[in-house]
Amino acid sequence: MPEQEFSNPFRPGAGHMPPYLAGREHEIMEFEQLLRQTTILRNLVLTGLRGVGKTVLLEKLKPIAIREQWCWVGADLSESTSVDDETIAHRLLTDLSLVTSSLVVGRQEVSGIGFVPQRTFIDTKLNYETLVALFRQTPGLVADKLKAVLEFVWLALRRQNAKGIIFSYDEAQNLSNRPKKEQYPLSLLLDVFQSIQRKDIPFMLALTGLPTLFPKLVEARTFAERMFRVVVLHRLSEPAARDAICKPIENANCPIKLYDESVELIISDSGRYPYFIQFICRDVFDTFLQKMDDGEKPSVPTDEIIRKLDADFFAGRWAKATDRQRDLLAVIATLDNCDEEFTVQEVVERSREHSPKPFSSSHVNQMLLALCNNGLIYKNRHGRYSFAVPLFGQFILRHMRDASQAD
């Protein structure tokens, strides 16, 4: 082995940047086109299943925007952001203050004390306290106050030669309206940005989330359909998946090399989903080193890694479902198109063939709604359903097979 230690390069974490970002060149070009807008007509929505690399790509876009002289602010959105209109407003002000806090918007002269007065000046900076004070002093509704603050910020910021601000929010599918409480934070966000963009203020939204995100935006405000450029992240192509596996270990100091058959096996087992590639490759790397140290011939321990993936990634999501919901999910998993899209009618018909207790259409509709709320299923704009978790159908079949063998 080389003298210099080579650490495991693969990082299967939530939003952790992989050692080599493969296969997202087209999506990056789409974002660069949005940056070239002189008037913001389109904002960005990055959407896709969990594990396709939405958060990672968003982080990749940040330095691109900064290089082009855009400011970048943002955060992860939680359900608490949707409590009321004031909450989303303060979320925006908090994030905005990170790029405005050094801007001087006023200067006050203070006289010294004593026989020889000394003139000193105190600068008023556009920090969080100033933004909140301006927000509170502006008359009108929350939307009016927020628009006024954003317009004021742009007057100060454009003197710094900034092209604009990207407001970047991950997990944006958590944002929603609350009609029962007469609170509409999602609609507020869309209304405010549409209004300031019409005034040629270059503040752009970059939202990422599950496939439910864009339908929620359109439901909140129909104009959202024309307000966003939707970029859907899919699993990687085979060449890109191969690069994601092989590029990180091409370094001369890397102690292991993968044969073509090992690479093909990883591509197959991962389904070409970026998170699964990182997960499997990390264990393969460690296992190969162990076997080499023990004098054994390295091989990919497929069964062991898949079981570990089941426990670490799928089991927690499976635990959210009730017993009857699991029965329904097991029926769905037997559909040939379970990893693509399926309809209520297809599920009903398959349940008559495979389930001792078939499901009616109304029952399937009710349960799919509950599973959508649990984040296991999502409904697209065409009335079809899909698993919200990639390769979930394969996990369910493995789980059901193991349970059957245990009985």
The reply to whether 274 and 211 lie within a common domain is no
In a domain, 3, yes or no: no
Residue 254 belongs to a domain: yes
What pLDDT does 324 receive?
92
Please say if the pLDDT value at position 404 is more than 70.
yes
Number of domains in the chain: 3
User: If pLDDT is split at 50, 70 and 90, which confidence band does 13 have?
Assistant: confident
Please indicate, yes or no, whether residues 213 and 161 belong to a single structural domain of this protein. yes
* Sign of the torsion formed by the C-alpha atoms of 352, 355, 358 and 363: negative
pLDDT tens digits, residue range 189-223? 999 999 999 999 999 999 999 988 998 999 999 99
Give the other-Cβ count within 10 Å of 131's Cβ. 22
Same-domain status, 66 and 169: yes
Q: Which residues of 305-334 are buried (b: 16+ CB within 10 A; e: fewer)?
A: bbeebbeebbeebbeebeeebbbbbbbbbb
Short-list 397, 387, 196, CA closest to 310: 397
* β-bridge mates for residue 106, sequence order: 124
Tokens 């929505």 belong to residue: 45
Are residues 220 and 77 both part of a single domain?
A: yes
Please answer whether residues 286 and 8 qualify as being in contact, where contact means their C-beta atoms are separated by less than 8 angstroms.
yes
pLDDT class of 338 with cuts at 50, 70, 90: confident
Q: Is the pLDDT of residue 402 over 70?
A: yes
pLDDT above 60 (res 116): no
- pLDDT value for 168: 96
Q: Give the range among 19-23, 123-127, 208-212 with minimum mean pLDDT.
A: 123-127
Mean pLDDT computed over 333-357: 89
Do the beta carbons of residue 386 and residue 47 sit within 8 Å? no
Q: Is the pLDDT of residue 331 over 80?
A: yes
- Give residue 337's domain range: 319-406
From 289, 218, 214, 221, select the one nearest 256 (Cα to Cα): 289
The answer to whether residues 183 and 83 touch, using CB atoms and an 8 Å cutoff, is yes
pLDDT band at 2 (very low <50, low <70, confident <90, very high): very low
Distance CA(121)–CA(108), nearest Å, equals 5
Structural domain includes residue 239: no
| Structure tokens given for 335 | 């559909």
